[in-house]
Amino acid sequence: MDALYRAEILEHYRRPHHYGHIEEPDITHHDANPFCGDDITIDLKIADGKVVDAAFRGKGCAISQASASMLMDEIIGASLDDLKQWTKENVLDLLGIEIGPVRLKCALLPLKVMKAGVWGLEDMDE
């Protein structure tokens, strides 16, 4: 089973979904992991409290880039409240393989960026 998930991770790394940027996004957030060099920026377009488009760009290892690609697939159509509920377990389930402590920050960087952007948007609305 691990081989199937590893193949999917490599596929998302080689041909990421929703890679690029969105013109006039409602949310844009960036972060990086200086220890490994992973770098992710996420753009979200929001309408009626839901994600109608999502894109990411960045560089880094296969785990961080695949995690971002898989996350973009999952969050389109989700409400902002749903995005706030995402946890590391959700991301690890998407990846489907055991992630060691060294790679955990790589896998979770896209989640961190997405949640910071969503919470930041709410702070701006107050």
Query: pLDDT per residue over 102-113, tens digit each?
Result: 889 999 999 999
Q: What CATH number is attached to the domain comprising 103? A: 3.90.1010.10
C-alpha span between 3 and 83 (Å, rounded): 29
| 18-67 pLDDT tens trace | 999 999 999 999 999 988 899 999 999 999 999 999 999 999 999 999 99
pLDDT at 3 over 80: no
| 71-104 pLDDT tens trace | 999 999 999 999 999 999 999 999 998 898 888 9
**Over pLDDT 90: what percentage of the chain?**
80
Please name the residue that has the structure tokens 């081989």. Answer: 3
Which residue segment(s) compose the domain that 105 sits in? 2-125
pLDDT at 1 over 80: no
Please name the residue that has the structure tokens 């989700």. Answer: 78
The answer to whether the beta carbons of residues 72 and 17 sit under 8 Å apart is yes
Total number of domains in the chain = 1
**Over pLDDT 70: what percentage of the chain?**
91
The answer to whether the beta carbons of residues 120 and 29 sit under 8 Å apart is yes
50: left (phi over 0), alpha (psi -120 to 50) or beta: beta
